[in-house]
Chain A
Amino acid sequence: MREQQLRLADDRTARVAGREMRVEAVSKKFGQAVAVDDVTLGISAGEFVSLLGPSGSGKSTLLMIIAGFEQPDSGELFLGGERLTDIPPHRRNFGHVFQKYALFPHMTAAENIAFPLKMRGIEKAKRGPMVANALERMRLSALGERLPHQLSGGQQQRVALARAIVFQPALLLMDEPLGALDKKLREEMQIEIKQIQRELGITVVFVTHDQDEALSLSDRVAVINQGGLSQFATPRELYDRPSSRFVADFVGDNNFFPGQLIATAGRKGQVKLDGGKVLAGQLPEGKSIALGAKVEIAVRPEAVSLNSKPDSRVSGTLIDVQFTGGTTTRIVRHASGAIYLSRALSAGSHAAQGDAVSLQWDETSAFIYPADGRA
């Protein structure tokens, strides 16, 4: 049945569900501004990949290139080995969910969902059950005859999602689809999207600037900065082993201690902090940093514990204790004005507000990054 539907859905289109999507050395400029800078990505079949980056980093442009709405200046796209670069968007057979849903306001929910089927020349009799199915999956069965403006934001979002998957696309592209929803609805939709992706085994490319969303939904996350790919890794790796200062800063909270690299031994480095103290940390994999270079040591707040007897380590004044449900975050101000965080599951340290404290951590959880550069 499914196979039959697949065949019905227009043989001319690039119907290649379950194949790897490759983005190879893609670049795109708008005038002088580089929007996408030499990005290479391999997205496996059935994988949920997020493009994560700050606003203006080129995520949408990259997605538009994958969709075919923008042509790359250089580089190629492949889907399961088939060259995709010159195939126009309507022949790529990708599903799209746009930030503002882009539902057709003159069509009912059901007509919106039927639209991609109609464009693929599927007869009316066959469309009916497929649309009904999609409506039911999205818990919209009672709302099929409503016009988009008669639906709530969440319902419109579900119609948009149903419309994007009803024709079993080779790839589902979503550009900040939850941006317009409030927090609770957002979380519900995240679960829903993830569930549908698993059920259908569909490959998803999901654009977001929200790191929590990216980490919780994705199999892998591509961190984009100033058009370039900073790191492409699982959420776990991204958090535990950020490959750059940028990723370490952008994904999760981090404490940074600026200094100078004075010695290396294998994967271990010694950094002389600006205050004169010398600390050890892990050097990044596959990249060598010159001795004497300006670097920063990054330590996650969870790895930092507070010692209420100031000693030779980095110290400061405990200025605030924030209880945020599962964890307690302690905020320490260094004499230089820098703010450091320490996070613990339990109540943790007994230090009180105003106390002088020193920060301590295991040197295996301290990572050394070159201070400059976006990569």
Chain B
Amino acid sequence: MKVSRLVQCIAWAVLAFLVLPSLLIAFMSFGTDPYLRFPPRGFTFDWYRLYFSDADWQSATLFSLKIAIVAAVIAAAISLSTAFGLERVSNPRLKESLRLVLLSPTVVPGIVSALAFYKLFSAVGLTGTFLGFVVAHTILATPFAYLCISSQLHAYDRTLETAARGLGATRLQTFIHVTLPLLSPSIVIGAIFSFLVSFDEAVVSFFISDTQGKTLPRKMFEDIDFSVSPVLAAVATTITVGTILLLAVITILQNRMKRIPSQQKE
């Protein structure tokens, strides 16, 4: 009893420690002073208004959103086909090697890949371009999408596809009516994770941005150099809220996956 209370206290303390910075930022985003200050004074939505009306902030945000959406879709598509493809590789060594290659972006330090992308992209003129960001972010995000999708594919009963074919479905119909719906929760979760990885990505983005094409994290970083305006806190808080909403969607999908087992009961 006592121990469990102690554990509870520690857990809350850790949680507070993790959440506190974000909470402080959120508080500060409503202050009336033109610089970040704690505790904030007054109350205003002006910084949010500024964020949502300023052309520079808008273009950086839209740029980041577009990149993240496209990267997420591509990462999910690559992961889905790779997960299926790897299932068919019968040589276990080859299979594991291919998996490791696919997952390698997660173990390469961010600064190393950043330098690599920077060198490569400046050579071929991709720095600051939409395509360049999409390529870099897709590579970074794919492992996360792959892990989500392959774990569900592993638990998924392939005889359902045989059954569908036997009942008159073509391969394409089987994919559309059986495979895709059954794997869709993990595909969506994988895509959301990829989206977050891309939207949040700062190190590589910092290197491959230029004055025209820059993502939101890079723009925030630049602004800190000029002025520590509460608009930064407003941006950060908006991102935090968006992330929380997406995590809620993931939780809902995970519950649904548990409710409708993709495997048959014995």
Contacts and interface: CB of A to CB of B under 8 A. Distances in A.
B181 A106 contact: yes
A120 B173 CA distance: 11
A76 B246 CA distance: 55
A89 interface: yes
Interface string A341-374: 0000000000000000000000000000000000
B69 interface: no
Nearest to B182: A106
Interface in A80-98: 88-91, 93-96, 98
Interface stretch (B36-44, B54-62, B87-95, B256-264): B256-264
A115 B260 contact: no
A167 B167 CA distance: 9
Contact of A105 (B165, B166, B170, B182): B182
Given A90-B165, A100-B264, A105-B160, 17 more contacts: A89-B166, A90-B166, A96-B163, A96-B167, A98-B159, A100-B159, A102-B159, A102-B162, A104-B182, A105-B260, A106-B182, A115-B167, A116-B167, A118-B177, A119-B164, A119-B169, A147-B260
A10 interface: yes
B260 A69 contact: no
Nearest to B163: A102
A102 B168 contact: no
Give the 8 A-B CB pairs with smallest separation, nearest first: A102-B163, A119-B168, A116-B167, A96-B166, A119-B169, A100-B264, A89-B165, A116-B168
Q: Which interface residue of B163, B178, B262 has the most chain A CB atoms within 10 A?
A: B163
Interface string A103-115: 1111000000001
In this complex, which of A116, A153, A164 has the most chain B Cβ atoms within 10 angstroms of its Cβ?
A116
Contacts of A10: 168
Interface string B134-171: 00000000000000000000000101101111111110
A67 B266 CA distance: 24
A101 B168 contact: no
Contacts of A94: 166
B163 A119 contact: no
B162 A69 contact: yes
B5 interface: no
Given A98-B159, A102-B157, A104-B178, A90 B170 contact: yes
Contact of B168 (A69, A93, A103): A93
A101 B265 CA distance: 10
Interface in B155-200: 157, 159-160, 162-170, 173, 177-178, 181-182
Nearest to A100: B264
Contacts of B159: 98, 100, 102
A89 B178 CA distance: 17
Interface of A: 10, 13, 67, 69, 88-91, 93-96, 98, 100-106, 115-116, 118-120, 147-149, 153, 156, 163-164, 167, 173, 180
A180 B160 contact: no
A237 to B, nearest CB: 32
A102 B165 contact: no
B262 A105 contact: yes
Contacts of A153: 265
Nearest to B158: A102
Contact of B264 (A101, A116, A164): A101
Interface in B28-82: none
Contacts of B164: 104, 115, 119
B266 A69 contact: no
B168 A67 contact: no
Given A90-B170, A103-B264, A105-B262, A69 B165 contact: yes
A164 B265 CA distance: 19
B29 to A, nearest CB: 42
A91 B169 CA distance: 9
Nearest to B256: A106
Nearest to A167: B168
Nearest to A96: B166
Contact of B173 (A100, A119, A173): A119
Nearest to B169: A119
A262 to B, nearest CB: 54
B219 to A, nearest CB: 42
Contacts of B266: 100, 180
B261 A104 contact: no
29 contacts: A10-B168, A13-B168, A67-B166, A69-B162, A88-B165, A89-B165, A89-B166, A91-B168, A95-B167, A96-B166, A98-B162, A100-B264, A102-B160, A102-B264, A103-B264, A104-B163, A105-B160, A105-B260, A105-B261, A105-B264, A106-B181, A106-B182, A106-B262, A115-B169, A115-B177, A119-B168, A147-B260, A149-B260, A173-B166
Contacts of A96: 163, 166-167
A180 B264 CA distance: 12
Contacts of B162: 69, 98, 102
Contacts of A13: 168
Given A100-B264, A149-B260, A90 B157 contact: no
Contacts of B264: 100-103, 105, 148
A101 B263 CA distance: 11
B44 to A, nearest CB: 49
A10 B266 CA distance: 34
